[in-house]
Amino acid sequence: MKHYPHYLDLQPAMHAKGVVRLPGSKSISNRTLLLAALADGTTHIKDLLASDDTHVMLMALQKLGVKWEQIGESQDYIVHGVNGSFPVHQTDLFMGNAGTAIRPLTAALAVTGGDYTLHGVSRMHERPIADLVEALNAVGTHIEYTGEAGYPPLHIQRGRIHAQRMQVRGNVSSQFLTALLMAAPLMAREQDVQIDVIGELISKPYIEITLNLIRRFGVTVQRDGWQSFTIAAGQRYVSPGTIHVEGDASSASYFLAAGAIAGGPVRVEGVGKDSIQGDVRFVEALEQMGATIRMGDNWIEAESNGVLRAIDADFNHIPDAAMTIAVAALYADGPSTLRNIASWRVKETDRISAMAIELRKLGAIVEEGADYLRVTPPKEIQTAAIDTYDDHRMAMCFSLATLDGAARRGNKVRINDPQCVAKTFPDYFDAFAKVTEDTLF
């Protein structure tokens, strides 16, 4: 995996143009790994993401007794399913800062039972998990907090499930519902399991990914809108044989925005119009800002039409990709407002606060609210050293401030701790350099 120095100086870039092959989707990769592990049969996973978060999941599954192998130097893996029962019943699992790993694994381990401890880096211990734990313990699982109540680290012991109807809040993280949906077939051996969502469900497209993949592994979920989900009794996960991981649509956002800002066309390959990822809807925001978007079965392309238009929009459905819009707003013709993004505060860092601080360094005027961000672009983008808060998306987003747009020129930007991109896209800066045709160092 590529290693970067403590900081990376990015030079101003006149133009963005070219083709980028995307790494695999983090959301699809970690869901697929766990489903393949829980399934009956052997699954061949093609184009799995190579990143810190998938490494965390692979290592955790290995410690739980799941056998898997990588095929040569490729990103193809073979996972031997355990048919709903992990061979190792007592172990300690390090989960890094991977929400897509700790949350579904917590639910699966709590339902199957055993003696497990789960912990991660310090930021993981600041990310809430109470809604998931309370939903599980209410039906008879036995999960304890070993640090601050409501947050990892966790100790899971064998419980006794006594109810088949669960409730979970939907307004903090959709990963809690994803975790329950993935664990539900393990509870539905003899009775139907119903999961009710309390309040508004955020990040709905991520639940669509979960439902799609669960279906690929042979389990059907009946749903009543976004408020109730039922898994009929007697279903179990069965390997689909081979499954292909789409390119990461969130990672596509940086390159598509580059095309929209700095000429283009920039094309991303690995994701297209039939993607199961909601983040492909990022292109709708770029179109609102005036860019030209073209899409094929396995590619998307963005091209500039001059100065970007300011945007005022609800980004609840694409919170990760929306971060890219906040930086693209530097190139708009007026103030842009990103609304309904409260979930940013419980991500890898408090992204609303972090984004406001770093955009101000570039000269923007930023208004920060509990669930919104308003960005007024500067007359000139300033040179700045950008802190990344151990957050991969902060590092990738701010590379865009080097671009020359129709409204204003980019500037030299220093990215501190560029290594944090290893969470989802280890080779990001090489790929960015390729489309901007500039030297990084």
So what's the pLDDT on residue 438? 54
Q: Could you tell me which residues are annotated as the binding site?
A: 26-27, 31, 99, 127, 173-175, 203, 320, 347, 351, 393, 423
So what's the pLDDT on residue 348? 87
The reply to whether 18 and 51 lie within a common domain is no
The reply to whether 264 and 366 lie within a common domain is yes
32 φ, ψ (degrees, to nearest 5): -65, -40
Report which of 13, 9, 19 is spatially closest to residue 405, judged by C-alpha positions.
13
Counting the structural domains of the chain, the total is: 2
The reply to whether 188 and 291 lie within a common domain is no
Q: Could you tell me which residues are annotated as the binding site for phosphoenolpyruvate?
A: 26, 99, 127, 175, 351, 393, 423
The reply to whether 203 and 76 lie within a common domain is yes
- Alpha-carbon gap, residue 210 to 226, rounded angstroms: 13
| CATH for 323 | 3.65.10.10
- For the annotated catalytic residues, the residue numbers are 320
- Alpha-carbon gap, residue 247 to 26, rounded angstroms: 9
So what's the pLDDT on residue 238? 98
Q: Kindly state whether residue 1 falls inside one of the protein's structural domains.
A: no
Strand extents, DSSP E, 47-180:
67-70, 77-80, 90-94, 115-119, 142-145, 154-157, 165-169
So what's the pLDDT on residue 163? 86
So what's the pLDDT on residue 439? 39
The reply to whether 80 and 170 lie within a common domain is yes
So what's the pLDDT on residue 2? 75
Q: Kindly state whether residue 235 falls inside one of the protein's structural domains.
A: no
Whole-model pTM?
A: 0.92
Q: Kindly state whether residue 243 falls inside one of the protein's structural domains.
A: no
Mind listing the pLDDT tens digit of every residue in the chain (441 residues)? 677 889 999 999 999 999 999 999 999 999 999 999 999 999 999 999 999 999 999 999 999 999 999 999 999 999 999 999 999 999 999 999 999 999 999 999 999 999 999 999 999 999 999 999 999 999 999 999 999 999 999 999 999 999 899 999 999 999 999 999 999 999 998 899 999 999 999 999 999 999 999 999 999 999 999 999 999 999 999 999 999 999 999 999 999 999 999 999 999 999 999 999 999 999 999 999 999 999 999 999 999 999 999 999 999 999 999 999 999 999 999 999 999 999 999 898 999 999 999 999 999 999 999 999 999 999 999 999 999 999 999 999 999 999 999 999 999 999 999 999 999 999 999 999 999 985 343
Q: What is the 3-state secondary structure (H, E, C) of 241-252?
A: CEEECCECHHHH
The reply to whether 11 and 44 lie within a common domain is no
**Domain span holding position 92:** 26-227
So what's the pLDDT on residue 441? 37
Q: Kindly state whether residue 259 falls inside one of the protein's structural domains.
A: yes
Location of structure tokens 């865009």:
400
The reply to whether 221 and 288 lie within a common domain is no
Q: Kindly state whether residue 237 falls inside one of the protein's structural domains.
A: no
The reply to whether 288 and 325 lie within a common domain is yes
